[in-house]
């Protein structure tokens, strides 16, 4: 069983990670529409030069226009330039309302308005990067089989659903998906809808049923799928089971493509043999991004974190250091590679000397002005962040490979149990609780 491994494009600085650990690691890239509106030339070059042959999807990001305006404004109170550009391209009703009034379902009460909006949104996805790529010099030197400029799928415009807004937005989303499926040339791109929902929706049986039923009647090929801020490490059993149930219903016995836009190891397992492939694939950002809020809440202070492979979680460097030290895994490099990680990045950073483990946590102290005066805060260096990231990407690739190739459910379940047993006494029960929960969800017959 193969598990599609996609990445979400973040910033141009991260381009190089799309060929790490190796070219061909990723099946595709999801690009946010505001980036495509803002920097089409750079993105076309990225697709041709960094990812020749990699499939791409443009997420139309239409939900951005429904949120309180603060979410899309810059510090000066003006709409962010990339969002304004996108609004101009999509036309009405967003063009004249952006930065003033959030979009409501009533803005689409005229079917003609919705139809035109869907058309603009699909035209943008079809043409924006394709035209740039066709113009590019690099394209002339590519083999014919690498000349695929159409997006893998066109995504119907969509809005974010919560329990209290489902009645208002779901009919609009369904109408938009129906129109989009009629307008899309399915010989060039698949026809996708996007399901972006609150945690309340995934835990509500009736809400899930309505969404699944609504889309099952449409002639479409798949979905982008995103549950707001669902952190698999801290999620409850009800939330994780709800996620599986909703994904499974959308997947329609494997007929349709379902890509979780922001998922971690639980989703990877769900896409593989353990979860009976209820997801086709899982995406994450090159800068981790295994869960994300629909309305961004702004970044905190960056902290160096080391991904502990057997816990499938990123742990603050200082905590990782304490755990590994207590367990005796920092006695020498061989011990570390045997017990923690032997990936190419860890081998190269340690270079045979366990003292080099500190390179995953090195930082520089900066003075920051805060409300109550100046504080001194340590920030990880660029090199530290890069080391942590490369180790993470190495392990991520391995997770997809193991979950896909290991058809034996018992082995995958045992891996979770081993992680729990190994880390419980040194990292604490809470640090391993998610492994126990995931195991119980994937093996309900063996509740432990
Ligand atoms: Zn490693």
Alpha carbons within 13 angstroms on the beta-carbon side of residue 1 total: 24
The distance between the two most distant Cα atoms of the chain, rounded to a whole number of Å, is 69
Q: Give distance in angstroms: CA of 398 to centre of ligand 1.
A: 11
C-beta of residue 121 within 8 angstroms of C-beta of residue 101: no
CA 205 to chain centre: 24
* Per-residue pLDDT reduced to its tens digit, 373-396: 888 888 999 999 999 999 999 999
DSSP string, 235-301: --HHHHHHHHHHHHHHHTTTTSEEEESS--HHHHHHHSTTTTTSSSEEEEBTTB-SS--SS------
Q: 190: which strand partners? A: 153
Predicted confidence (pLDDT) at residue 132 exceeds the cutoff of 60: yes
Spatial contact of 395 and 310, defined as CB atoms under 8 Å apart:
no
Strands 373-380 and 363-370 come out as antiparallel
- Ligand 1 centroid – CA 361 distance (Å): 14
CA of 447 to the centre of ligand 1 (A): 32
Distance 90 CA to ligand 1 centre (A): 44
Q: How far is the CA of 333 from the centre of ligand 1 (A)?
A: 12
Q: Are strands 190-197 and 222-227 parallel, antiparallel or unpaired?
A: parallel
Rounded to the nearest angstrom, the distance between the alpha carbon of 243 and the centre of ligand 1 is 30
Asked if 438 contacts 240 with a C-beta cutoff of 8 angstroms, the reply is yes
For residue 219, the CA-to-ligand 1 centroid distance in Å is 44
Distance, in Å, from the CA atom of 428 to the CA atom of 52, rounded to the nearest integer, reads 45
Q: Which whole number is the average pLDDT over 78-82?
A: 87
How far is ligand 1, taken at its centre, from the CA of residue 15, in Å?
21
Ligand 1 centroid to 309 CA: how many Å? 8
Q: How far is the CA of 344 from the centre of ligand 1 (A)?
A: 7
Residue 308 has pLDDT above 50, yes or no: yes
The mean pLDDT value for 110-135 works out to 96
Ligand 1 centre from 387 Cα, in Å?
9
Q: Are 127 and 92 in contact (CB under 8 A)?
A: no
Integer angstrom CA distances of residue 34 from 199, 227, 340: 25, 21, 40
How is the chain split into domains, by residue range? 4-284, 305-405
Model pLDDT, residue 171: 98
At 121, list the tokens: 């949104």
Can you give the pLDDT at residue 51?
78
Query: Rounded to the nearest whole angstrom, what is the distance from the C-alpha of residue 391 to the centroid of ligand 1?
Result: 4
What six digits make up the tokens of 96? 């004249």
pLDDT (tens digit per residue) in 13-48: 889 899 999 988 999 999 999 999 999 999 999 998
Q: How far is CA 180 from each of CA 105, 127, 220, rounded to the nearest angstrom?
A: 17, 15, 9
Burial class (CB in 10 A: 0-12, 13-18, 19+), 97: middle
User: From ligand 1's centre to the CA of 282, what distance in Å?
Assistant: 21
Ligand 1 centre distance from Cα of residue 330 (Å): 14
CB-CB neighbours of 392 under 10 Å: 23
- CA of 127 relative to ligand 1 center, distance in Å: 40
- How far does the centroid of ligand 1 lie from the alpha carbon of residue 388, in Å? 8
Q: CA 99 → CA 20, 65, 94, 109, 169, distances in Å?
A: 38, 9, 9, 21, 21
Binning pLDDT at 50, 70 and 90, where does residue 447 land?
A: very low
Contacts of 356 (CB under 8 A, 6+ apart): 349, 350
- The CA 174 to ligand 1 mean position distance, Å, reads 44
Q: How confident is the prediction for the chain on average, in pLDDT?
A: 92
* Per-residue pLDDT band at 353 (split at 50, 70, 90): very high
Q: What angle do CA 289, 293, 297 make, to 5 degrees?
A: 105
Q: Which residues contact 366 (CB under 8 A, 6 or more apart)?
A: 376, 377, 378, 379
**281-284 and 305-308 strand pairing:** unpaired
Q: Which has the minimum average pLDDT: 106-110, 378-382, 417-421?
A: 378-382
CA of 412 to the centre of ligand 1 (A): 20
Segment 131-137 shows an average pLDDT of: 86
At residue 448, the pLDDT reads 45
Among the listed residues 9, 133, 134, the one whose alpha carbon sits nearest the alpha carbon of residue 59: 9
Average pLDDT over residues 98-105: 90
Would you identify the CATH topology of the domain 4-284? TIM Barrel (3.20.20)
Which segment of 193-202, 261-270, 343-352, 366-375 scores lowest on mean pLDDT?
A: 366-375
DSSP state at residue 363: E
Hey, what are 351's tokens?
Answer: 């270079």
Ligand 1 midpoint to CA 436 (Å): 23
CA of 314 to the centre of ligand 1 (A): 12
* Ligand 1 midpoint to CA 279 (Å): 27
pLDDT at 101: 87
Region for residue 85 given its phi and psi (left: phi exceeds 0; alpha: psi -120 to 50; beta: otherwise): alpha
Residue 287 has what pLDDT? Answer: 73
Distance 357 CA to ligand 1 centre (A): 11
């Amino acid at each position: 069983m193969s598990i599609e491994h996609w990445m979400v494009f973040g910033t141009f600085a991260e381009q190089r990670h799309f060929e790490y650990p190796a070219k061909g690691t990723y099946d595709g890239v999801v690009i946010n529409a505001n980036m495509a509106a803002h920097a089409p030339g750079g993105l076309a070059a990225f697709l041709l030069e960094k990812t020749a042959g990699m499939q791409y999807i443009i997420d139309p990001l239409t939900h951005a226009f429904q949120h309180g305006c603060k979410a899309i404004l810059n510090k000066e109170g003006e709409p962010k330039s990339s969002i304004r550009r996108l609004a101009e391209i999509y036309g009405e009703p967003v063009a004249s309302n952006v930065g003033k009034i959030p979009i409501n379902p009533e803005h689409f009460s005229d079917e003609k308005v919705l139809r035109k909006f869907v058309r603009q949104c699909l035209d943008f996805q079809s043409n924006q990067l394709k035209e740039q790529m066709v113009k590019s010099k690099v394209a002339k030197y590519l083999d014919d089989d690498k000349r695929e400029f159409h997006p893998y799928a066109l995504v119907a415009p969509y809005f974010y659903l919560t329990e209290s807004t489902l009645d208002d937005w779901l009919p609009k989303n369904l109408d938009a998906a129906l129109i989009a499926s009629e307008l899309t040339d399915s010989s060039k791109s698949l026809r996708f809808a996007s399901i972006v929902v609150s945690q309340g929706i995934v835990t509500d049986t009736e809400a899930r049923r309505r969404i699944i039923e609504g889309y099952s009647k449409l002639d479409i090929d798949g979905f982008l799928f995103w549950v707001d801020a669902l952190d698999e490490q801290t999620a409850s059993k009800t939330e994780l089971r709800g996620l599986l149930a909703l994904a499974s219903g959308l997947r329609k016995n494997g007929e349709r493509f379902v890509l979780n836009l922001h998922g971690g190891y639980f989703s990877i397992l769900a896409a593989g043999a353990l979860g009976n492939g209820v997801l086709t694939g899982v995406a994450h950002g090159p800068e981790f991004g295994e869960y994300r809020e629909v309305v961004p809440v702004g970044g905190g202070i960056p902290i160096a974190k080391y991904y502990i492979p057997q816990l499938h979680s990123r742990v603050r460097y200082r905590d990782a250091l304490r755990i590994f030290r207590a367990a005796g895994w920092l006695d020498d490099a061989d011990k570390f590679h045997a017990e923690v990680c032997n990936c190419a990045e860890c081998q190269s950073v340690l270079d045979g000397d366990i003292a080099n483990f500190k390179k995953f946590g090195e930082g520089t102290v900066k003075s920051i002005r805060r409300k109550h005066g100046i504080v001194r805060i340590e920030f990880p260096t660029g090199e530290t962040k890069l080391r942590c990231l490369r180790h993470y990407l190495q392990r991520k690739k391995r997770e997809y490979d193991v979950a896909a190739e290991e058809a034996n459910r018992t082995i995958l379940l045992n891996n979770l149990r081993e992680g729990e047993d190994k880390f419980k006494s040194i990292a604490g029960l809470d640090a391993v609780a998610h492994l126990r929960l995931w195991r119980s969800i994937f093996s309900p017959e063996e509740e432990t």
